[in-house]
Structure 1
């Protein structure tokens, strides 16, 4: 089968690398569209599995140009199937172009929902649901969301989240509870110029250091730039009980998550990783697309009110609660998603749906 796989972000591209390898191993011809990823940003173990895109771009390139580039590639060499990963604008544009040409669309991570009507990512997820021929859901919760929205069950398969395949491939081990220390705070809010939110995050840091320190502040380069522009960075760097870690490679981030007693994230990221390593998480938002973690009591949505944050920190940091969370299996998969994707695409009824009345080029 000739497949074009589109991924709009570096995180998504890494997550689907195992899927690409499995598809190629099963005899499929896979063409990859995705962003440029520096191998040094993922670490040596994962650099070995990271797929190199045929069509790529630098992270800061114009979004409209990227979408046009992806669509042009699809139209110049039409595949039999378009496989889309994530919820970025480029992925949605490619799925739209594929549907217009009568190309079957398979959506990975189908059915993920934050139920945030203001989120562009949520709008893209719902658009992809309307465009997809087959929906590969990461969890039963995601599959249930698709059912509520009227997607026929025979067009849905639960395959797990490919990001867990990456976590297994990383070989980063779960750390025993007695050896974990402090809080990891992943700060990425300043991707937008939200000065009020930035001020609130900075004010939270001393509270966190006092309640659940020491705190390692995982600072994205753009977040640092905004802190510097706002005149806040030097004050953060001088805080007692707070250590800043700048733009770590992904494997180092995984080790930091695994070694922490608590994860605090301002953008909802790293929740799959936290579930994999059994680490409780405080999400400084009012919504999240990782509802499985909230439902299982692994994550707590708090917003930025200090009282709500500290209550969640105390509750999730309780010794018995940490032990309960550590004993749970990963909610997002078992590391075998790639193989399941191959199995789904080998099903005769799925193949007929994707290429109705046509002859598939290969497996």
Structure 2
């Protein structure tokens, strides 16, 4: 039984890595790993950390591509790849352009599709863009839906997917986090000086397409205001390589003593940095899922989130993207000790570290 895993971004690699390792233990399955190159400088180090080798690198990305150009190239190259490999099942993860195209091409070829982290919805086709479109399309053509939460499971049921084709798994990102947390060889001092780590840390990540432009400038303004309001707090921001993020971030935040801009760091180091932080400000979906396992309160800098479970449970606060709201909500968490402690004690609603095992067992039972 041949299974192809197709991915292109760092979050996909992180969340598929434990699934790949789980399936690799079973001689019933022949695995083929395909990387589309969507995050070409950020994925290979992840795979090395998890000791996973790719079989095919499609190298679909080039400078200044429009989204339509990316999609066009991927349809062609993934089509050639699947025609050559002829897998029985194609695994995709999440809601990236790679996932949507790979699932669609597999569907065209009559190949079964397995979708990890199925059923996320904001019910606004433009937010996040194009991720909401991508995941809705994938769900229409998927054979095996692996829903991370009960909300996602119910979303699929409400769209007419039979419960026989859905497996409630938990999130594979938590599996990766558990694996990474056991690795003690990574030292934050190799990229951050001790005097930075000795202070209270607010960790920041921001990279989503929906926040490009004015929203991103507002977020940077909020960080600047917070740095002035809390001079004894260090705001650490590993800046994404995308020029829509990198250029304005460095222009607006470079000359502030307690705002530390660093290059993207490997996943294991990033887990250590999350663990060292006091709280996290992010637009990342994966970090929304991971932070509660590390008992770190979270501020979501988006207008809405498809991971509502964290907001409902109380592990996260939806801050929006206005400068004023971000400053207000961050100030509350930095000053209100009772609220902060309450948020650190809530059980993670996104998973328990066993998702990959459930995916493997479910698919094996379906393919026998």
**Compared with structure 1, are the counterparts of its residues 39 and 95 closer, same or farther at alpha carbon in structure 2 (3 Å cutoff)?**
closer
Say if 2:201 and 2:235, in contact at 8 Å, map to a contact too. yes
Equivalent residue, structure 1, for 2:325: 308
Equivalent residue, structure 2, for 1:354: none
Equivalent residue, structure 2, for 1:83: 91
Q: Deviation per CA, 1:180-210, whole angstroms, max 9, x where unpaired?
A: 8231111325x68944234322321232224
**Matched residue of 2:177: which SS?**
helix
Shift of 1:321: 2.4
Q: How does 1:53-64 map to 2 (within 5 A)?
A: 53-58=54-59, 60-61=61-62, 63=70, 64=72
Q: Take 1:193 and 1:185, find their aligned partners in 2: how far apart are those partners?
A: 14
Q: How does 1:1-363 map to 2 (within 5 A)?
A: 1-27=1-27, 28-35=29-36, 42=45, 47-58=48-59, 60-61=61-62, 63=70, 64-118=72-126, 119-171=129-181, 181-188=200-207, 194-211=212-229, 213-223=233-243, 226-227=246-247, 233=250, 236-268=253-285, 270-317=287-334, 318-347=336-365, 350-351=366-367
**Compared with structure 1, are the counterparts of its residues 235 and 123 closer, same or farther at alpha carbon in structure 2 (3 Å cutoff)?**
closer
Q: Which runs of 5+ in 1 are unaligned?
A: 352-362
**Matched residue of 1:270: which SS?**
helix
Q: Deviation per CA, 1:74-102, whole angstroms, max 9, x where unpaired?
A: 12232222222122223222222322333
Q: Take 1:235 and 1:309, find their aligned partners in 2: how far apart are those partners?
A: 16
Q: Take 1:20 and 1:224, find their aligned partners in 2: how far apart are those partners?
A: 32
* TM-score for both structures, normalised by structure 2: 0.82
Q: Matched residue pairs, number? A: 340
**Matched residue of 1:220: which SS?**
coil
Shift of 1:333: 1.6
Higher normalized contact order (CA 8 Å, seq sep 6+, divided by chain length)? 1
**Compared with structure 1, are the counterparts of its residues 254 and 223 closer, same or farther at alpha carbon in structure 2 (3 Å cutoff)?**
farther
Say if 2:227 and 2:235, in contact at 8 Å, map to a contact too. yes
**Matched residue of 1:221: which SS?**
coil
Aligned Cα root-mean-square deviation (Å): 2.8
**Matched residue of 1:160: which SS?**
coil
**Compared with structure 1, are the counterparts of its residues 155 and 211 closer, same or farther at alpha carbon in structure 2 (3 Å cutoff)?**
farther
* TM-score for both structures, normalised by structure 1: 0.83
**Matched residue of 1:182: which SS?**
strand
